[in-house]
Structure 1
């Protein structure tokens, strides 16, 4: 490779630009490129792609997913298709075990691309050479294409930078290896040159002494073997920093390489260097280090916020932060400003990040591959009552040792031995794909439990709310007790044999023992995290005196295996993780597949054993029924809010059980929808037409009111089930269910439709005001404000339902939307209480406020004002300290003060069905 780049005349540059523009407008056959909209029919259109001699079959289109891997659907309920790319085909080779993740990174390095966001192909580090068949001959393309964005085509042959050594040895004899060597050299040379440009302009020393992020740009340099920059590409020392403005006029203001970067548009708000919380951990030395750290950030990086250090000189404009702020999170704060060399990301209209509409959720920081957006402070999570009280806020100060809570480096190294029901034993690194910046930000969110041989530990109790799951390292046993599920004594059944639970069932203070799980089941307690429902069982970890120890080893290809050594006793290791860490883990396809496999298996089991359908069966019969459904083809299905499940008039072919959520049964008369019934967890539908002598048609439609989990049972399997257990046919035929569970009065479609429209079915603690008694004295609001630091948790306004006003206050919903997506797990429920708790380490991002569909959460200023705000003469409200979220806490288990303070007994707390019952009674409906 030449050591210097020859000079190019300006006219040649313009001609080259026009030629490149024409190439992007036309394909290799000189045909105008027209981007066709993907259709669902292409899910079944399979094409074969050859990457470095390895053939792989992929569909032309795949379902589009969100950041957690959930398929997206359109308004008709159909899957949204997206184009399958060359990088998707390479990922398929990794999934098949042909390549490893390290192989993929070496062959197709990426910087701007993340698998959970749309590709933009701006860095071109993933460039590959493609060849296609033309007139019966394999013809190479005239340009390199980005693998992350280029669509697959039939018989496409792709050459990466791996070269001859990385080519498939089984097909090497049939390939033109001289062409492969030439193509890979072109790819390698181009990608290395791009890396040199990036290194010359963006490889700057880190600000802090401790590791705060993964430098993906540096990792790509190492992969490509780029360790220096040729002389001509080195950054000119006279070029100004993008973090500050140049104080001179350039000799040629029209030259983008000499023009100063745009001046930062500081708002006229006198931010003080000490406008941050003090360091309470580590004594005076740690406090001084924290002050010095903030002074350096404030002086050298003026665009920074209280959570994120913004270094524009490290930014490569990969757009990962922009897409994270608009696709993963809904805030749309980050964009671009400037032009030429001065182009950089901006916040709102080029405001300082801390003074923009940025909510400090950290999504951009965890997406940045270069450290341009890096961590400024830890979040100091407190997920447990015994969490470390002195977590250093300074990310450069080491995390407390021997606390039982893992550091970011320790979390990344966590490994688990998992025996998959379908794929056999394997070693899983669940947090390896979680961005290091996120782990550093949330140090203290993962704790390690070691149960010594011969000891036991209670992990969770049935009926209690929780926000943690338990990752099992691979040894020990876990006794699972349930007062609901374990209703009778029976011999060990299918699940007991499958999971090694051959012990007789016994009694304890937690109820009957329903089964004994083994340590290779990967995870326990995940349902509470993913559904926000109470624990369905109590779990006790048991370490036998001879519990075998676990050892980890790897082969020459980097594949890990975990071995149980029965000769050496060892502890049972359990990792307890918070819900936000579990959500981040689910962004990894491999970790998501493992967790969803176990979750689906248990969801079907819980739906059968705990639903209304199998109530007439004893425990042994329920186990047999579950085995029949699993082996015969019962399907677990998720349905998003508003999506249809069955349509009126369609042939009846399936039976459904509701695992989670609420659905509405309705008919359409004269173009108007009339709600007939609401069904929730434990209910079922679709049996009427299937029990008839001849298959019938659906007499009503069913649609999801909120995110719903269902178990779909094909009609043939349903008939096998009722033939095996005749008592089910009798109970299904005799059942007469009310329109709404818990309501004793008959309803009409009009009242029920309004009940559904206002979302009252969600409420477990609605605040309702009886308008026949209420005098609008506002004592309820004043009592709430007086008991909550002057911030009332209710508004005496809302929609009317009958004679009642449903006030704006926390409803303690069955489906708490407010808990979805909290980046630091600061909002959850505890114990057996319904109130939603917002912890003190809330970062004020406002996501819970946005998610609440009833306006019950408010953002208020923290009690401690910003020191700069206290000294500001105008008292500008923008100068207050960070916000925090507040909501109704139901007065922490006491009789709510709003109810107590009402002098006319007009304020009540009640459930949705209770309110509906009261309204129907006043309307004079007869008792059903």
Structure 2
């Protein structure tokens, strides 16, 4: 062993368990409850037994009456099972200020200076990796803090008012949608009286679903039911329907999934750039076929295209909350003949859609809409599906903007860069290659920049290799410890250095190559190596968007030529403004 190497024990998945009080007695009690009682423990591999999953990937939380369990809009990393008491799901109507969302803590100017003064001269210096009990103690302290700072509503009936609510009883699971799809919570859940809930870290939920069909089927059923109802309530076309009409729509709506949930495993940028690549994408609806209703995008991205010459031309992309086929469905309802679809819709990766048949629209939706309102909706929808007008990620039409040319749109869609909510875009005509952005990033992050100033190019614009904090962060799918996850309030994807075991799963999963594995050192400069294999211990590093810095991303602030911006590439209005400045 070199004198500049120090042997330490490599971090393991369960060095920092999710809960601090899950002993054998608690696990025994859980195994007597549904859905764990019916699970076949022999179906789990010896390296991943069900008992260990329950012991390390779950924790029991107590909530006083009115305690907020999850808040609408927060990003979810776990599911919940009601053990005792009841939980109340509030679908709408609560004032956001009542939910107690805390602002993000930023470092002040003095703290930022102290951090720079104390920053080691060597890159990626860590304190010596501590004993496992130290990791557990840190985790216990964090969980305790979360428990102590819980927000609760003292007068729940008065606060709820006319809010639509659903009561969950012991044995029911909720929150799995946000946990598995890495999306914001769609409702607020409160404790109805005193309640005890089992919180399941999404890694444990995923592992149990992999090895038990019963749990997977149960969760999928919940996914269909909850996604359907919530999405239909949020769709403007259906928001004014009488309750009985809405129930008939709910009964006849079909839930569909297209593509692959782990699409990153087969994603190949070079192959996507070939002209014939578009026909290999999962076809959801085909141009020229009769319109048989509308499709509501629940999650994921879809390509909207039409025939052009001997191939296909990308017209736009559709994301969560957007609608396909509405104009044709309205025309079919108003006319005597069925209208054909004018575009094709294909899945970019994994897409969940809700299909409302034409007959259901004609019988239970359109009769409650005037011809004028239907014509207006059809016109707005037709505009929103072109690049003449740009549309933000939340599905609202923006003001008229300069046109996003088709090649730029295809560049973003084919490479799935529209997945990026905070992409680093560099205008190469303005960039002087001074590297001030790189140096600023290094000064903020352990003397090692968290991005590479190179990447895919379109004309004068380059998408640098920096974490884009994606709308669908597939890097989180395989992480065994939960070290990589979203910030609950902001959605920023961050890595917890304490629980990262250096397995490289996130780096290999990122389709854009924006996560790097780095060798770490101790304060003397010695490289830390595994005491068993004598190989260097690596840690995953990536852009954290300088979340704790007052001024925001250091790279953008340091650019002296206004050549660099962090941008949501799915927001075509914002992109159009920046491109045409």
Query: Could you say which TM-score interval applies, normalised by the shorter chain?
Result: 0.7 to 0.9
Given that residues 412 and 429 in structure 1 are in contact (C-alpha distance below 8 angstroms), is that contact kept between their aligned partners in structure 2?
no
The equivalent residue for 2:56 is 444
After superposition, the C-alpha distances for 1:133-162 in whole angstroms (9 at most, x for unaligned) are: xxxxxxxxxxxxxxxxxxxxxxxxxxxxxx
Shift of residue 824, structure 1, vs aligned partner: 1.8
Give the direction of change, closer, same or farther, for the CA distance of 1:913–1:466 in structure 2 (3 Å limit): closer
After superposition, the C-alpha distances for 1:213-239 in whole angstroms (9 at most, x for unaligned) are: xxxxxxxxxxxxxxxxxxxxxxxxxxx
The equivalent residue for 2:111 is none
Given that residues 866 and 881 in structure 1 are in contact (C-alpha distance below 8 angstroms), is that contact kept between their aligned partners in structure 2?
no
Give the direction of change, closer, same or farther, for the CA distance of 1:871–1:748 in structure 2 (3 Å limit): closer
Shift of residue 407, structure 1, vs aligned partner: 4.8
Give the direction of change, closer, same or farther, for the CA distance of 1:881–1:626 in structure 2 (3 Å limit): farther
The equivalent residue for 1:684 is 323
**Among 567, 578, 601, which residue is 2:225 paired with?**
601
Whole-angstrom CA distance in 2 between matches of 1:665 and 1:774: 33
After superposition, the C-alpha distances for 1:323-348 in whole angstroms (9 at most, x for unaligned) are: xxxxxxxxxxxxxxxxxxxxxxxxxx
The equivalent residue for 2:165 is 515
Please report the RMSD computed on the Cα atoms of aligned residues, expressed in angstroms.
3.6
SS of residue in 2 equivalent to 1:912: coil
**Among 698, 712, 719, which residue is 2:341 paired with?**
698
**Among 792, 800, 822, which residue is 2:449 paired with?**
792
Give the direction of change, closer, same or farther, for the CA distance of 1:468–1:871 in structure 2 (3 Å limit): closer
SS of residue in 2 equivalent to 1:535: coil
Are 2:237 and 1:613 aligned?
A: yes
Give the direction of change, closer, same or farther, for the CA distance of 1:407–1:275 in structure 2 (3 Å limit): farther
After superposition, the C-alpha distances for 1:826-870 in whole angstroms (9 at most, x for unaligned) are: 211122123211122112121111111111111112344999967
**Among 277, 293, 318, which residue is 1:654 paired with?**
293
Whole-angstrom CA distance in 2 between matches of 1:660 and 1:734: 24
**Among 829, 834, 838, which residue is 2:486 paired with?**
829
The equivalent residue for 2:143 is none
Shift of residue 871, structure 1, vs aligned partner: 10
After superposition, the C-alpha distances for 1:46-89 in whole angstroms (9 at most, x for unaligned) are: xxxxxxxxxxxxxxxxxxxxxxxxxxxxxxxxxxxxxxxxxxxx
The equivalent residue for 1:850 is 508
Shift of residue 410, structure 1, vs aligned partner: 0.4
**Among 62, 77, 92, which residue is 1:482 paired with?**
92
The equivalent residue for 1:900 is 557
**Among 14, 22, 42, which residue is 1:379 paired with?**
14
Given that residues 580 and 823 in structure 1 are in contact (C-alpha distance below 8 angstroms), is that contact kept between their aligned partners in structure 2?
yes
After superposition, the C-alpha distances for 1:76-123 in whole angstroms (9 at most, x for unaligned) are: xxxxxxxxxxxxxxxxxxxxxxxxxxxxxxxxxxxxxxxxxxxxxxxx
SS of residue in 2 equivalent to 1:777: coil
Give the direction of change, closer, same or farther, for the CA distance of 1:624–1:856 in structure 2 (3 Å limit): farther
Shift of residue 880, structure 1, vs aligned partner: 4.5
Give the direction of change, closer, same or farther, for the CA distance of 1:852–1:431 in structure 2 (3 Å limit): farther
Shift of residue 909, structure 1, vs aligned partner: 1.2
Whole-angstrom CA distance in 2 between matches of 1:473 and 1:716: 42
Whole-angstrom CA distance in 2 between matches of 1:774 and 1:868: 37
Are 2:30 and 1:413 aligned?
A: yes
After superposition, the C-alpha distances for 1:606-658 in whole angstroms (9 at most, x for unaligned) are: 2111234335x2xxx37545421232x21111111531101122222232111
Shift of residue 411, structure 1, vs aligned partner: 6.6
Give the direction of change, closer, same or farther, for the CA distance of 1:458–1:650 in structure 2 (3 Å limit): same
User: What does residue range 81-96 of structure 1 map to in structure 2 within 5 Å?
Assistant: none
The equivalent residue for 1:717 is 360
Give the direction of change, closer, same or farther, for the CA distance of 1:414–1:720 in structure 2 (3 Å limit): farther
Whole-angstrom CA distance in 1 between matches of 2:380 and 2:446: 51
Normalized per residue, the structure richer in helix is 2
The equivalent residue for 1:890 is 545
Given that residues 276 and 866 in structure 1 are in contact (C-alpha distance below 8 angstroms), is that contact kept between their aligned partners in structure 2?
no
The equivalent residue for 1:525 is 175
Whole-angstrom CA distance in 2 between matches of 1:908 and 1:580: 34
SS of residue in 2 equivalent to 1:831: coil
**Among 406, 413, 416, which residue is 1:759 paired with?**
416
The equivalent residue for 1:732 is 377
Whole-angstrom CA distance in 1 between matches of 2:526 and 2:66: 53
Whole-angstrom CA distance in 2 between matches of 1:506 and 1:628: 30
After superposition, the C-alpha distances for 1:567-595 in whole angstroms (9 at most, x for unaligned) are: xxxx6431001011110121211111111
Whole-angstrom CA distance in 2 between matches of 1:866 and 1:582: 41
User: What does residue range 64-103 of structure 1 map to in structure 2 within 5 Å?
Assistant: none
The equivalent residue for 2:196 is 573
Whole-angstrom CA distance in 2 between matches of 1:725 and 1:408: 57
Given that residues 803 and 919 in structure 1 are in contact (C-alpha distance below 8 angstroms), is that contact kept between their aligned partners in structure 2?
no
Shift of residue 660, structure 1, vs aligned partner: 0.8
Are 2:309 and 1:670 aligned?
A: yes
SS of residue in 2 equivalent to 1:891: coil
Post-superposition, which runs of at least 4 consecutive aligned residues in structure 1 deviate over 6 A?
A: 865-872
Whole-angstrom CA distance in 2 between matches of 1:662 and 1:710: 10
Shift of residue 437, structure 1, vs aligned partner: 3.9
The equivalent residue for 1:643 is 282
The equivalent residue for 1:539 is 189
The equivalent residue for 1:470 is 80
Whole-angstrom CA distance in 1 between matches of 2:441 and 2:456: 20
Whole-angstrom CA distance in 1 between matches of 2:442 and 2:258: 40
Given that residues 294 and 324 in structure 2 are in contact (C-alpha distance below 8 angstroms), is that contact kept between their aligned partners in structure 1?
yes
Given that residues 8 and 529 in structure 2 are in contact (C-alpha distance below 8 angstroms), is that contact kept between their aligned partners in structure 1?
no
Given that residues 13 and 501 in structure 2 are in contact (C-alpha distance below 8 angstroms), is that contact kept between their aligned partners in structure 1?
no
Shift of residue 918, structure 1, vs aligned partner: 4.5
Are 2:436 and 1:779 aligned?
A: yes
Given that residues 546 and 553 in structure 2 are in contact (C-alpha distance below 8 angstroms), is that contact kept between their aligned partners in structure 1?
yes
**Among 517, 527, 533, which residue is 1:859 paired with?**
517
Give the direction of change, closer, same or farther, for the CA distance of 1:867–1:761 in structure 2 (3 Å limit): closer
Given that residues 611 and 681 in structure 1 are in contact (C-alpha distance below 8 angstroms), is that contact kept between their aligned partners in structure 2?
no
Shift of residue 793, structure 1, vs aligned partner: 0.8
Shift of residue 417, structure 1, vs aligned partner: 5.5
Shift of residue 702, structure 1, vs aligned partner: 0.6
Shift of residue 449, structure 1, vs aligned partner: 2.4
Whole-angstrom CA distance in 2 between matches of 1:627 and 1:915: 35
Whole-angstrom CA distance in 2 between matches of 1:913 and 1:511: 36
Shift of residue 709, structure 1, vs aligned partner: 0.5
| Larger gyration radius, structure 1 or structure 2 | 1
SS of residue in 2 equivalent to 1:782: helix
**Among 208, 214, 223, which residue is 1:585 paired with?**
208
Give the direction of change, closer, same or farther, for the CA distance of 1:713–1:908 in structure 2 (3 Å limit): same
Shift of residue 786, structure 1, vs aligned partner: 2.0
The equivalent residue for 1:814 is 471
Shift of residue 783, structure 1, vs aligned partner: 1.4
SS of residue in 1 equivalent to 2:391: coil
The equivalent residue for 1:627 is 247
SS of residue in 2 equivalent to 1:799: strand
Shift of residue 749, structure 1, vs aligned partner: 2.9
After superposition, the C-alpha distances for 1:190-226 in whole angstroms (9 at most, x for unaligned) are: xxxxxxxxxxxxxxxxxxxxxxxxxxxxxxxxxxxxx
The equivalent residue for 2:269 is none
Given that residues 413 and 429 in structure 1 are in contact (C-alpha distance below 8 angstroms), is that contact kept between their aligned partners in structure 2?
no
SS of residue in 1 equivalent to 2:184: coil
